[in-house]
Amino acid sequence: MKKPPLYRGDVIENSTMPQRYRSCGIISKSINGGNPAYINKNGLLESIQAHINPLTESEKTFLSKSVFISFTTEESIAQNYCSYDKSQNKFFSDDLRKCEEYYETRYIFSLNISDCIPLNATEGIYYLEYNCNPEMRKSDGLNEGIIEFQYASGWGKCEICEGGRKHKMYLIDSVKFLESHKEYTSNPCAFINAQKDKEWLVLPSDFYKRLNGYSSSMIPVSKIWSVKHYYILKNEKPRDPNQFAIPGSVI
């Protein structure tokens, strides 16, 4: 049975830099210096709990640079996170308004996982291989000169796809995973939060020869995901469309 899409709400001020989706993709917090070895050291169960409900300083540090990207099965939940105002610590989902591209401050991403393969369906662990689409990459702001520069700099290329390989990601139904390990769970609130958000965790896992290692920093620009643009009508102006009109940071 094919899985329905996953959704993610994000805000322009977050460390995941959703405004860079055009040039880079859907970015994880690990772009800020995350440590993929944390999972190997602490195990998948502890790492998932730390991402969903961190308790110790070490877990809070992991979350701030987490290799996981949070999604949900419900678009309404993603919409709620998309509407979050950090300064007021409030959600304004009723005040979200769609807007034209380059004027947005908030985003809802939709990820197509219909081709994912179960690795351990009982634990809710899946695997997905896919191609990126570098020809879809473009400037993060309205600046035609930058777009020309980007393509002249080889933006239409991908080391992985051109090498005959595919991009890879692991998908974890956190509710099912935590429930299947409840006798070992040390953080019951993580399970409660996972249930509330119907949370799935995505772990990109691409090997780059030039890095001589794996990267979990982003889901690159690809036809497997799409995005909707929003801003909050009540207390927010659309952003300057020329903002961020520079090449994004690429791994």
pLDDT at residue 209 greater than cutoff 80 = no
Find the mean pLDDT for residues 74-94.
93
Q: What is the residue extent of each domain of the chain?
A: 6-232
**Quick one: pLDDT at residue 148?**
53
Under 8 Å CB-to-CB from 72, ≥6 apart: which residues?
6, 7, 8, 78, 197, 198, 199, 200
d(CA 167, CA 206): 6
**Quick one: pLDDT at residue 230?**
95
What are 41's two structure tokens?
A: 């050291």
**Quick one: pLDDT at residue 17?**
93
Give 105-144 pLDDT, tens digit per residue. Answer: 999 999 999 999 999 989 999 999 999 998 888 888 886 5
Q: Mean pLDDT across the chain, nearest whole number? A: 88
d(CA 147, CA 36): 32
Give 137-159 pLDDT, tens digit per residue. Answer: 888 888 655 555 455 555 667 88
pLDDT at residue 172 greater than cutoff 80 = yes
Q: Where does the pLDDT of residue 249 fall: very low under 50, low under 70, confident under 90, or very high at 90 and above?
A: very low
pLDDT at residue 212 greater than cutoff 70 = no
Q: With pLDDT > 90 as the criterion, what percentage of the chain qualifies?
A: 62
Give 29-59 pLDDT, tens digit per residue. Answer: 988 777 778 888 999 999 999 999 999 999 9
d(CA 186, CA 45): 9
**HEC letters along the chain:** CCCCCEEEEEECCCCCCHHHCCCCEEECHHHHCCCCHHHHHHCHHHHHHHHHCCCCHHHHHHHHCCCCEEEECCHHHHHHHHCEECCCCEECHHHEEECCCCCCCEEEEEECCCCCEEEECCCCEEEEEECCCHHHCCCCCCCHHHHHHHHHCCCCCCHHHHCCCCEEEEEEEHHHHHHHCHHHCCCHHHHHHHHHHCEEEEEECEEECCCCEEECCEEECCCCEEEEEEEECCCCCCCCCCCCCCCCCCC
**Quick one: pLDDT at residue 23?**
87
d(CA 250, CA 218): 9
- The structure's pTM equals 0.91
pLDDT at residue 67 greater than cutoff 80 = yes
